[in-house]
A and B are shown apart, each in its own frame.
Chain A
């Protein structure tokens, strides 16, 4: 019974496709998968924006939106209908393009932001047998597509013909490029240990159970460090606090999307959040076992439920961090990426190699754990002490 529940979407897809004549079936199947992604993830985005506002509100000891329900009725729904008026507002605002702006690039920038992000969903496994296209080099495809987002940021800043937008765009690109390297290097450790770039293989490697606990990569020392690095780098890639200088830079420069209003701004916003979901989805696949369950006696829960609950948990951690931490300054951001995360990622590769080649279980646990801890503490101390930062004591005058 649970197997049918697990494969319900796959079976539904096959049933729908069977109505189409034989030569058209692959095309119809792709079209249906694409429409599924296009329906589910923007809906997920709307719900997450409301969760974000309510979550941040509760952290700040206040209610978030809690009145808007279904429009034109009196049903309140605790504020979950808020995305309808917000979306309508964004759609009906006037679309202002600066007179001196480069019109074609100005128009294309949000589109170039959104399309690669949507493309990246094609390789993510949402459940058992539920990957849209399972390439042999799926991971490589994902990172290649993710790099195209940076072009969109630059296009937005350059075409606005605004000194401040350009500076903001430069900063955004510098940040995104710097954090691509720890992101990819932490994924490289997984590829090394599993031996394949195919995302289904990576999940299959984690789908084994010892003593009832799954072989998730995050349960190993190098996997834990890799996951932490991947998580911090994904915060920086999606321009979230504490790395949100490009977008919340309301100090002077309002960022690379100053000159956008209305629907184009909505597209940027959508692109940013969808990028966040995609990168979290990949992190779940690499480190948290994708659609597998952590303990062996819970495997009856459908796989897509596992995937989406892990995704929601990760997004909640994103929101939690956003509500708590202040922003880093630009040079401190770059310092952190190049002088802390990059060496740590390289050392992580070494540790993953040691793990892979040592065969005795308890020995490799001890060696790898001590190495991880030592590297983290040593590099962390170096980062803080280099600028003589630290706790201070104060004297009292008599």
Chain B
């Protein structure tokens, strides 16, 4: 009979030794492997635990690397547009807009007004559905068995139906072009969008009662995963994480790209920088997006949607380098392109917000429990397509 005193014959326990040759008995090293129970994709965290507290955390990624930048340098600018859809696969419209903005800067193309309004509408719809999904995943990480996630996905489907009606695909829209958008929207679509936006405020109210003051959510998220202001600025964090830490920096107000200067909206800023602040900032941002959408849908003018000077085939922008950025739902999404006058880019680089926001994960998780580490990861809002490209 085997008891713990006499292990079976072929079994040997070799204790781990540290640099001095003494036994590292206390620390437990865990690999929260790429096959994750949470819903963030193929991402690995090597965590060293002292009992329950996290002592060291190393994020390991690259499991979804698809050579996006190398492909971008080998195909034409237009052909790269569908590949940018697949960077941050939740927010394909925003990726398209960032890329189109960059190339328009490079080639000096002007975008007609109706196309600008359409771009703003699409970007804000994307922000709505991204933040809704994020709240669903975030509460799912805390163990809520998927109920808020199902409600979030139910509402997201309405927005994806709108995307499918205008561009033909739900997620990989491939909708923006250099100099405008690919297809025009008709009045029926505008009426449908107005209805979806009107219903969204009601849904947000219901979702809010579910979560915003729930005692369990408060207990698990307040004062957990604090990101101080200076550290956030030094680590190049952008997006809702930065605003939750207390820094007022929103590219829509700073760069005023597109026609955002025409809309009346405010930027919410947090105070403590913990998980609860990040979650609440995203909820408040959703309400501001609804305000922007209402204004844009009301004011959209008639007109062409494509710059007449833009060419589909044989597009050769003049040589030069450019960096274009937009305020994506996850942070500052930037594209850096060096062109040498040929149909392909010479160097094409993506600034992925999720990747750069992940670098601060260890500092936020130190000293917390392992269950907190999972929720902190959820609040950073990463999409592996963007982290790994």
The answer to A–B direct touch (Cβ < 8 A) is yes
A residues adjacent to B (C-beta < 8 A): 56, 59-62, 99-104, 158, 161, 163, 241-242, 244-245, 248-252, 322-332, 384, 387-392, 394-398
Question: Looking at the complex, which one of A103, A252, A326 makes contact with B30 (CB distance below 8 Å)?
Answer: A252
B residues adjacent to A (C-beta < 8 A): 1-4, 7-8, 10-11, 28, 30, 32, 37, 47, 52, 139, 142-147, 150-151, 154, 212-220, 222-223, 248, 250, 253, 266-271, 276-277, 280-281, 284, 369-372, 374
Question: Looking at the complex, which one of A62, A327, A392, A397 makes contact with B150 (CB distance below 8 Å)?
Answer: A62
Bound together, the chains give a CA A391 to CA B217 distance in angstroms of 11
Question: Looking at the complex, which one of B144, B253, B266, B270 makes contact with A326 (CB distance below 8 Å)?
Answer: B144
- Contact call A330/B371, Cβ cutoff below 8 A: yes
Bound together, the chains give a CA A249 to CA B369 distance in angstroms of 13
**What would 17 A/B residue contacts be, using CB atoms closer than 8 Å?**
A60-B151, A61-B150, A99-B8, A100-B11, A102-B4, A163-B28, A241-B145, A252-B32, A325-B214, A326-B144, A329-B371, A384-B215, A389-B218, A389-B222, A394-B271, A394-B281, A395-B269
Given A252-B370, A394-B271, A397-B269, answer yes or no on A103-B1 (Cβ-Cβ < 8 Å).
yes
Main secondary structure of the interface of A (DSSP, over half): loop
A52 → chain B closest CB, angstroms: 11
- Contact call A394/B216, Cβ cutoff below 8 A: no
Bound together, the chains give a CA A209 to CA B276 distance in angstroms of 50
Bound together, the chains give a CA A206 to CA B32 distance in angstroms of 53
A333 → chain B closest CB, angstroms: 10
- Contact call A332/B220, Cβ cutoff below 8 A: yes
Closest Cβ neighbor of B217 among chain A residues: A326
New A-B contacts (11) at CB < 8 Å, excluding given A61-B150, A394-B281: A103-B1, A242-B216, A326-B144, A326-B216, A326-B220, A327-B144, A332-B220, A387-B223, A388-B223, A390-B218, A396-B268
Given A384-B215, A396-B266, A397-B267, answer yes or no on A102-B2 (Cβ-Cβ < 8 Å).
yes
Bound together, the chains give a CA A183 to CA B143 distance in angstroms of 24
Bound together, the chains give a CA A56 to CA B52 distance in angstroms of 32
Bound together, the chains give a CA A395 to CA B247 distance in angstroms of 12
- Contact call A325/B144, Cβ cutoff below 8 A: yes
B333 → chain A closest CB, angstroms: 21
Q: Which of A99, A248, A392 has the most CB of B within 10 A?
A: A392
Contacts of A391 in B (CB 8 A): 212-213
- Contact call A332/B219, Cβ cutoff below 8 A: yes
- Contact call A397/B222, Cβ cutoff below 8 A: no
Given A323-B145, A329-B220, A397-B267, answer yes or no on A392-B276 (Cβ-Cβ < 8 Å).
yes
Bound together, the chains give a CA A59 to CA B52 distance in angstroms of 34
Closest Cβ neighbor of A106 among chain B residues: B2
A148 → chain B closest CB, angstroms: 21
- Contact call B143/A244, Cβ cutoff below 8 A: yes
- Contact call A161/B4, Cβ cutoff below 8 A: yes
Question: Looking at the complex, which one of B37, B47, B145, B213 makes contact with A322 (CB distance below 8 Å)?
Answer: B145
Contacts of B32 in A (CB 8 A): 251-252
Given A104-B1, A389-B219, A396-B269, answer yes or no on A329-B372 (Cβ-Cβ < 8 Å).
yes
B270 → chain A closest CB, angstroms: 6
Bound together, the chains give a CA A351 to CA B305 distance in angstroms of 74
B119 → chain A closest CB, angstroms: 24
Contacts of A328 in B (CB 8 A): 216, 219-220
Contacts of A163 in B (CB 8 A): 28
A186 → chain B closest CB, angstroms: 21
A386 → chain B closest CB, angstroms: 11
- Contact call B154/A61, Cβ cutoff below 8 A: yes
Bound together, the chains give a CA A242 to CA B216 distance in angstroms of 9
Contacts of A331 in B (CB 8 A): 369
Bound together, the chains give a CA A248 to CA B37 distance in angstroms of 11
Bound together, the chains give a CA A325 to CA B281 distance in angstroms of 22
Bound together, the chains give a CA A394 to CA B370 distance in angstroms of 29
Contacts of A394 in B (CB 8 A): 268-271, 277, 280-281, 284
- Contact call B218/A327, Cβ cutoff below 8 A: no
Contacts of A326 in B (CB 8 A): 139, 142-144, 214, 216-217, 220
Contacts of B371 in A (CB 8 A): 245, 249, 251, 329-330
- Contact call B147/A329, Cβ cutoff below 8 A: no
Contacts of A104 in B (CB 8 A): 1
Bound together, the chains give a CA A130 to CA B151 distance in angstroms of 45
A102 → chain B closest CB, angstroms: 6
Given A250-B37, A328-B216, A329-B369, answer yes or no on A59-B147 (Cβ-Cβ < 8 Å).
yes
Closest Cβ neighbor of A62 among chain B residues: B150
Question: Looking at the complex, which one of B28, B150, B372 makes contact with A60 (CB distance below 8 Å)?
Answer: B150
B153 → chain A closest CB, angstroms: 9
Bound together, the chains give a CA A245 to CA B281 distance in angstroms of 29
Bound together, the chains give a CA A160 to CA B216 distance in angstroms of 32
Contacts of B372 in A (CB 8 A): 329
- Contact call B220/A251, Cβ cutoff below 8 A: no
Given A248-B143, A390-B218, answer yes or no on A330-B369 (Cβ-Cβ < 8 Å).
yes
B90 → chain A closest CB, angstroms: 21
B23 → chain A closest CB, angstroms: 15
Q: Which of B11, B143, B374 has the most CB of A within 10 A?
A: B143
A239 → chain B closest CB, angstroms: 12
Bound together, the chains give a CA A43 to CA B7 distance in angstroms of 41
- Contact call A61/B151, Cβ cutoff below 8 A: yes
Bound together, the chains give a CA A252 to CA B32 distance in angstroms of 7
- Contact call A99/B11, Cβ cutoff below 8 A: yes
B37 → chain A closest CB, angstroms: 4
Contacts of B147 in A (CB 8 A): 56, 59-60, 323-324
Contacts of A384 in B (CB 8 A): 215, 218
Contacts of B30 in A (CB 8 A): 252
Q: Which of B142, B147, B248 has the most CB of A within 10 A?
A: B147
A161 → chain B closest CB, angstroms: 7
A181 → chain B closest CB, angstroms: 21
Closest Cβ neighbor of A329 among chain B residues: B371
A353 → chain B closest CB, angstroms: 30
Closest Cβ neighbor of A57 among chain B residues: B150
- Contact call A103/B268, Cβ cutoff below 8 A: no
Bound together, the chains give a CA A329 to CA B218 distance in angstroms of 12
